[in-house]
Structure 1
């Protein structure tokens, strides 16, 4: 399994370091655009050891990546033989162009829906998404529904092509709503998704140290709105990390998504994929920086989830 990157950097020192590090990690960077001037995106991260919080100071890359940076033939070549496309919503015009091309090529798309993105930036991407992953603040912002289970249901109603939506909840793990692939059973009564969520929370083992997952069966679910969907709800727990081992949460969401991408690429069932992703994110927390703490598949701490 290989990973290919479509992005843009400047011909500055940071850009050179980024490309060197990615190549060393085995990433195909042959489709990365290098601009003659400007600057590469970089972020200063300030970590407060006492409060276990961080502050990010972002300097965006310039000039930004736009669709004209890649011809359609070059974009098609970059997507050739790709089994899954991941889009984070940055450079949204370029991301939408890549999504449309991937859609024509029947490539599944996972969209990282961040709450900072506007409807203009994300709406088109979500309409093409096969899978949606978001942080805890996104569902309510997007749907105006304060409850996460009901807001996830509304998101799947808004975007019928999405097979699932996952919300990451930090130390509280994650929640996933997965659409049934077998169609709806219109003869059954709809069950309130809030009641399903509460029943699942009661099944979660609070004393488990490693991540676990509980799931409902597929059923017709209703939420705060008028629509219903035939789906199942899953709750994944996070690893219980001692305060002395919690070093830096920078990049934990990205680590989680990376693990989900691996799970999808290897056809890992959601009941295993969610705790696996939570475990990867938990391992990352134990080191400074977004990448230094990321585990390899050979890490013994992942063995339980890969057997």
Structure 2
């Protein structure tokens, strides 16, 4: 069985007795084999935690093919699966299987596909009472071609008709949906309705997570309300026009003062996260005269007792740390030997992005699960699974060092079956036990 092991920060002194600079200190989390972890040891889900989502729902027609066709080709599928999809619906299904009370605001038509989607969500424990059902029109659907050779997928989406409008959701229904909600999640579809809900959620001080899959209509109006953002690779650079990912994340946090953290996911390459330091938190540094140029380092709690050992020690404001250099340090420190997701992080410091600015926070680098090629089936919905796990982690109060590997593991599980929901694990799945205990 598996469990978490905390790897302490680098020691205060190097083997040569010289103080280590801040850029060389980090914290990491990995998992190890243990016989003490079991399903019985998994704690219960957060009490009365409710996640409200607003966004996409669809029927997915998933066809696997030997290879993606060329223009004018006629090919045969090797398998076909029909199941519910849509970013928000997938993420809430994941959250429900993990133990959260999930509610969805969306719209379907009163057709066989719409009825089937509602039944599937209800079977997974998602509250569909706030989904608008149109008497006429068609429910949204997506054709998905899964290439068996490259393990990639191509999606062709047809939106539902008529589209959802803010007037489709009454004020009383919206307030009922928000009642006792722990967090609100948007995939930036149905953006006009989402903005109305976001304003009310913000007024009620309910935290908001936004999935910025790509630049969509209404995104710029919605982002200022976000407490948390999860986005795919390249989005931060596109939105901020900053060339590097790390610098773009700093730019997002500087532009969006309400934002607490932003995560960028990179599939098999893992994820990167920048977390803003909570209000009142200051980086701690140590300055010592050792007969050469004074060096600065960030102190972790386990090293604070060393301050009492030297009367020449004084605490000063933290020096700025170049985020690109810090990222390279974390890349060298990450554990590449295990197949399970891990996380390394910096201490709280002033993160500087050249040409962008400086903010106080922490940098996290998470790895993805190394899935054997013979077990990798389909990556459809892996990002939705990751977000569903992040929603759970926020409600459960997980620290980022535990949240990122947990979300990566959930996403890895989803890639082992065809479709966005088939492989979504339940909280009692043995593969999740070490990340929950």
Q: Secondary structure at the match of 1:3?
A: strand
CA distance in 2, matches of 1:10, 1:84: 27
CA distance in 1, matches of 2:167, 2:244: 41
For residues 179-238 of structure 1, the C-alpha deviation after alignment (integer angstroms, 9 at most, x for no partner) is 000346493221111111111111111111000000000101110334211000000100
Relative to its length, the structure with more helix (as a share) is 1
Please give the residue correspondences for 1:159-174 in structure 2 after superposition, counting only pairs within 5 Å. Answer: 159-174=256-271
- Aligned counterpart, 2:433: 303
CA distance in 2, matches of 1:185, 1:22: 45
- Aligned counterpart, 2:102: 3
Higher relative contact order (CA 8 A, sep 6+): 2
8 Å CA contact 2:343, 2:366 repeated in 1: yes
For residues 80-115 of structure 1, the C-alpha deviation after alignment (integer angstroms, 9 at most, x for no partner) is 110100000001111111101101111000000122
State the 1:76 CA deviation.
1.1
Q: Secondary structure at the match of 2:211?
A: strand
Counterpart check, 1:145 vs 2:275 = no
- Aligned counterpart, 1:36: 135
Counterpart check, 1:258 vs 2:381 = no
Please give the residue correspondences for 1:76-95 in structure 2 after superposition, counting only pairs within 5 Å. Answer: 76-95=175-194
8 Å CA contact 2:103, 2:126 repeated in 1: yes
RMSD: 1.2
Q: Secondary structure at the match of 2:398?
A: coil
Which of 97, 116, 125 is the matching residue for 1:17?
Answer: 116
8 Å CA contact 2:272, 2:366 repeated in 1: yes
In structure 1, stretches of 5+ residues that fail to align are: none
State the 1:138 CA deviation.
0.5
Counterpart check, 1:216 vs 2:315 = no
Instruction: Report which of the two structures shows the higher radius of gyration computed on alpha carbons.
Output: 2
CA distance in 2, matches of 1:106, 1:152: 24
TM-score, normalized by length of structure 2? 0.68
8 Å CA contact 2:263, 2:273 repeated in 1: yes
CA distance in 1, matches of 2:234, 2:141: 24
Which of 312, 325, 334 is the matching residue for 1:204?
Answer: 334
Counterpart check, 1:124 vs 2:216 = no
CA distance in 2, matches of 1:51, 1:190: 43
For residues 239-295 of structure 1, the C-alpha deviation after alignment (integer angstroms, 9 at most, x for no partner) is 001111110000000000000000001111110000000001011100000100000
Which of 146, 158, 161 is the matching residue for 1:59?
Answer: 158
Q: Secondary structure at the match of 1:107?
A: coil
CA distance in 2, matches of 1:185, 1:103: 27
Q: Secondary structure at the match of 2:369?
A: coil
Shift >4 Å, 4+ stretches: none
8 Å CA contact 1:22, 1:29 repeated in 2: yes
For residues 134-185 of structure 1, the C-alpha deviation after alignment (integer angstroms, 9 at most, x for no partner) is 0002111101112111110000001010100000010001011000003464
Counterpart check, 1:284 vs 2:414 = yes
